[in-house]
């Protein structure tokens, strides 16, 4: 299976970095090879280039259109609020797999 | 309530998005963020030189460390405006899609800022009312916080003019065989000449007015009136209210208001810090760091007390788990788990305390400052994630740290009834679920 390259973005890249750790754990548990990184929104154009998918924290969901404009041809989605709150890495990983269809 | 919510969301979301994705607003915000490390470095050194603990001060004196620590601020916080010009002009050029040009635009912008400052300084002659003019010098008067608004204006105007030329292709074109770096530096010449001529003209024209120079004009016309706004607690309370309202709809409200709060209240913080380092009384009652110290103690919404109650007093499994998960980061002002996990977003139970607690958390310390019980904040520029209590201690010593403790207790008191309601609800849901399970079994 091809490696997943997932970029998470929020205001400062702080709270997404917590989710990032949980998602890495979930990926390891499921035996999926994945690069998962958290970044501040300001860097999305640069770091988004190599990503398979860009996920936004729900608190910056209003920036979705702007992110899509900056990173055309990339799937951009917003992390489900309750999954974000409970830092449910497994659920978010499932969200990613569903969108990417693999 | 549902209709009210959907109407608000319909208008709030696009407005917040518009403000935040406005290229100028975000360039100013990100430009500030870009230079924050250098300001933090300067601020920490200043703090290290001036912490009022007697044995520590004796140690500094003895080792000469005080002198060593004192150099940093003269080239960091004291030159804030120059770094702001760099940060904003670079960021705006990049955000308008010309990142390769940013390294040409930023130096031009810095040069234009320095150009607006007339050369030479007047030095008072000792023991007389006269002063001598010393030509080979640049006055530092507007290189720090006083020049912040000119810095922002120049940081925005220079890239705009530059890109005006680039977009219309009014540039010197080199043959394709010339390496791109060289051809880029040539292509910056025509816009550069135009900008240089314009700002030379600006300097000349303002030299004819009674203001004397561009920076004095901006300072008197924009900065001073705005700083009146900055001394009023009402403005700060409105910012807090807007941020909280946006957050209730799940929008990072602080991100939306930050550019404005930063522009008005960050200079006050830096000026307080300089005064603190010089051993003078702190000039400003309200600074940017009131947000981190008091308003947003435990993240936006002042959630530290709630997180503590969840971690230790929750009866439902749901809030117990969430509290343990979210408490450590909430202590460092990162509270998204609590905000989205509770959830507080769009949850009518938490609407009132979520709006009211941050407002009260500003009003009480402000009042205590006014009656002289609580010291003004030192305005130490601190990195995001600095834990509560340490944050308070750095900003104002033990009294401010104690104020934070009191506010945490107050947060618990205000949030308690609402927390109990949510906890009971969760507990009822959980027991209903387990009953279902037993029926199934």
Residues of A in contact with B340 (CB under 8 A): 58-59, 81-82, 84-85
Q: Is the pLDDT of residue A12 over 90?
A: no
Say yes or no for a CB contact (<8 Å) between A12 and B339. Answer: no
- With an 8 Å Cβ cutoff, are A18 and B334 in contact? yes
Q: What is the pLDDT of residue B2?
A: 65
Assess contact for B92 and B159: CB atoms under 8 A: yes
Facing residue for B21 by CB, picked from A12, A63, A84:
A63
User: In this predicted structure, what is the pLDDT of residue B142?
Assistant: 92
For chain A, the residue count is 102
A4: distance to nearest CA of chain B, Å?
25
B 307-336: CB under 8 A from A: 321-322, 325, 329, 334, 336
Residues of B in contact with A91 (CB under 8 A): none
Can you tell me the distance from the alpha carbon of B268 to that of B121, in angstroms, rounded to the nearest whole number? 25
Lowest-pLDDT range, B71-85, B116-130, B149-163, B302-316? Answer: B116-130
pLDDT for the residue B439: 55
List phi, psi (to 5°) of A76. Answer: -120, 130
Residues from chain A that touch B16, judged by Cβ atoms under 8 A, are: 62
B187-239 pLDDT, tens digit each? 788 899 999 999 999 999 999 998 889 999 999 888 888 878 778 899 999 99
Model pLDDT for residues B278-290, shown as the tens digit of each residue: 889 999 999 999 9
Classify strands A34-40 and A4-10 as parallel, antiparallel or unpaired.
parallel
Query: Is residue B241 scored above 90 in pLDDT?
Result: yes
Q: What is the pLDDT of residue B44?
A: 87
Residues in chain A closer than 8 A to B30 (CB atoms): 42
Q: Residue A15: is its pLDDT beyond 80?
A: yes
Least confident range of A68-72, B119-123, B198-202, B296-300 = B119-123
Please give the pLDDT value at position B8.
67
Question: ∠ CA(B355), CA(B360), CA(B366), 5° rounding?
Answer: 140
Q: Verify whether residue A10 is a known catalytic residue.
A: yes
The pLDDT assigned to B441 comes to 46
Secondary element (H or E) of residue B145: none
Please, which pLDDT band fits residue B15 given cuts at 50, 70 and 90? Answer: confident
Q: Which of A15, A40, A65 sits opposite B334 (nearest CB)?
A: A15
Q: Which two tokens stand for residue A58?
A: 């729900």
DSSP annotation of B252? -
| Partners of A8 in beta bridges | A38, A55
Does the pLDDT at position B368 exceed 50?
yes
Q: How far apart are CA B107 and CA B101, in angstroms?
A: 11
The span from the CA of A46 to the CA of A58, in Å, is 21
A10/B33 Cβ within 8 A: no
Chain B, 10 to 39: residues with Cβ < 8 Å from chain A are: 13-14, 16-17, 20-21, 26, 30, 33
CA distance B399 to B149: 33
- pLDDT confidence of residue B114: 95
The Cα of A41 is separated from the nearest Cα of chain B by a number of Å equal to: 10
The per-residue pLDDT of chain B, averaged, comes to 88
Q: What percent of chain B has pLDDT over 90?
A: 47
pLDDT value at position A61?
Answer: 84
For residue B32, how many other CB atoms are within 10 A of its CB? 22
Q: Are B401 and B408 in contact (CB under 8 A)?
A: no
ipTM of this complex prediction, to 2 decimal places: 0.82
Residue B98, pLDDT > 60, answer yes
Is B340 within 8 Å of A60 when comparing Cβ atoms?
Answer: no
CB atoms within 10 A of CB B369: 20
pLDDT band at residue A40 under the 50/70/90 scheme: confident
Higher pLDDT, B29 or B401: B401
- The answer to whether residue A85 neighbours chain B at the CB level (below 8 Å) is yes
Contacts of B338 in chain A (CB under 8 A): 85
Q: Which of B30-39, B89-98, B179-188 has the lowest mean pLDDT?
A: B179-188
Chain B residues within an 8 Å CB radius of A85: 322, 336-343
Task: Taking the CA atoms of B203, B205, B211 and B214 in sequence, report the sign of the dihedral they define.
Answer: negative
Q: Do B340 and A42 touch (CB under 8 A)?
A: no
The mean pLDDT of B266-285, rounded to a whole number, is: 90
Q: Check if A68 contacts B (Cβ < 8 Å).
A: no
Catalytic residue, chosen from A9, A10, A20, A71, is: A10
CA–CA gap between residue B335 and residue B244 (Å, rounded): 13
Q: Give the CA angle between residues B200, B205, B210 to the nearest 5°.
A: 135
For residue B143, the model assigns a pLDDT of 93
Distance CA B341, CA B321 (A): 10
- CB-based contact A86 B322, cutoff 8 Å: yes
pLDDT of residue B201: 95
Q: Do A62 and B325 touch (CB under 8 A)?
A: no
| Surface of A (24-63) touching B: CB under 8 A | 40, 42, 57-63
The tens digit of pLDDT for each residue in B384-393 reads 888 999 999 9
CB contacts, 8 Å: B250 with chain A? 58-59, 61, 81
Q: CB contact, 8 Å: A100 with chain B?
A: no
Q: Count CB pairs under 8 A between chains A and B.
A: 81
Q: Is the omega angle on the peptide bond into residue B17 within 30 degrees of 0, that is, cis?
A: no
Structure confidence at residue B56 (pLDDT): 87
- The tens digit of pLDDT for each residue in B24-37 reads 988 898 898 888 88
Flag if A14 and B334 touch (Cβ within 8 Å): yes
Facing residues of A5 across strands?
A35
Q: Give the nearest partner residue to B340 out of A14, A65, A81, using CB atoms.
A: A81
In this complex, which of B21, B247, B384 lies closest to A14 when CB atoms are compared? B384
Nearest chain B CA: its distance from A58 CA (Å): 7
For residues B115-127, give the mean pLDDT: 85
Q: Which CA distances in Å does A99 have to A61, A71, B196, B336?
A: 17, 17, 52, 24
pLDDT band at B90 (very low <50, low <70, confident <90, very high): very high
A82 touching chain B per CB within 8 A = yes
Exposure string of B327-351, with b = 16+ CB inside 10 Å and e = fewer, is bebbbbbbbbbbbbbbbbbeeebbb
């Amino acid at each position: 299976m091809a490696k997943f390259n997932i970029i998470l973005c929020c205001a400062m890249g702080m709270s997404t970095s917590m989710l990032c750790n949980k998602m890495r754990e979930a990926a390891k548990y499921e035996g999926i090879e994945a690069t998962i990184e958290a970044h501040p929104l300001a860097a999305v154009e640069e770091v988004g280039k190599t990503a398979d998918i860009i996920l936004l924290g729900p608190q910056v969901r209003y920036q979705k259109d702007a992110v899509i404009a900056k990173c055309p041809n990339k799937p951009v989605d917003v992390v489900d609020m309750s999954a974000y709150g409970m830092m449910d890495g497994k659920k978010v990983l499932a969200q990613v797999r569903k969108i990417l269809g693999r | 309530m549902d209709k009210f919510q959907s109407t608000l969301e319909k208008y709030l979301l696009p407005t917040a998005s518009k403000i935040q994705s406005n290229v100028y607003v975000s360039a100013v915000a990100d430009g500030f963020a870009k230079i924050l490390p250098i300001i933090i470095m300067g601020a920490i050194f200043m703090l290290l030189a001036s912490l009022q603990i007697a044995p520590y001060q004796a140690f500094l004196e003895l080792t000469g460390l005080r002198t060593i620590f004192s150099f940093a601020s003269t080239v960091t916080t004291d030159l804030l405006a120059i770094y702001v010009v760099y940060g904003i002009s670079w960021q705006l050029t990049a955000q308008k899609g010309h990142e390769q040009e940013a390294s040409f635009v930023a130096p031009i912008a810095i040069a234009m800022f320095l150009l607006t400052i007339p050369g030479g300084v007047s030095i008072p002659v000792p023991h007389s009312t006269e002063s001598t003019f010393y030509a080979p010098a640049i006055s530092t008067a507007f290189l720090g916080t006083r020049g912040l608004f000119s810095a922002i204006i120049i940081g925005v105007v220079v890239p705009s003019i530059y890109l005006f030329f680039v977009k219309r292709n009014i540039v010197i074109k080199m043959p394709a065989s010339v390496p791109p770096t060289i051809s880029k530096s040539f292509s910056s010449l025509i816009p550069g000449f135009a900008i240089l001529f314009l700002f030379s003209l600006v300097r000349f024209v303002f030299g004819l007015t009674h203001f004397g120079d561009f920076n004095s004009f901006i300072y008197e016309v924009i900065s001073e009136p705005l700083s009146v706004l900055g001394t009023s607690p009402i403005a700060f309370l409105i910012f807090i209210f807007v941020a909280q309202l946006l957050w209730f709809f799940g929008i990072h409200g602080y991100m939306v208001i930050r550019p404005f709060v930063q522009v008005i209240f960050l200079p006050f913080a830096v000026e307080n810090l300089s005064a603190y380092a010089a051993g003078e009384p702190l000039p400003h009652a309200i600074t940017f760091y009131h947000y981190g110290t008091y308003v947003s103690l435990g993240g936006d919404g002042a959630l530290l007390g709630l997180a503590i109650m969840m971690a230790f007093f929750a009866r439902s499994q749901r809030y117990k788990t969430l509290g343990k998960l979210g408490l450590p980061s909430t202590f460092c002002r990162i509270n998204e788990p609590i905000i989205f996990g509770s959830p507080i977003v769009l949850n009518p139970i938490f609407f009132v305390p979520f709006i009211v607690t941050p407002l009260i958390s500003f009003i009480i310390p402000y009042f205590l400052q006014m009656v002289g019980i609580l010291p003004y904040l030192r305005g130490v520029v601190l990195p995001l994630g600095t834990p509560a209590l340490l944050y308070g201690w750095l900003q104002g010593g033990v009294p401010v740290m104690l104020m934070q403790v009191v506010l945490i207790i107050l947060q618990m008191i205000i949030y308690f009834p609402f927390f109990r309601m949510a906890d009971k609800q969760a507990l009822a849901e959980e027991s209903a679920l387990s009953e279902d399970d037993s029926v199934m079994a």
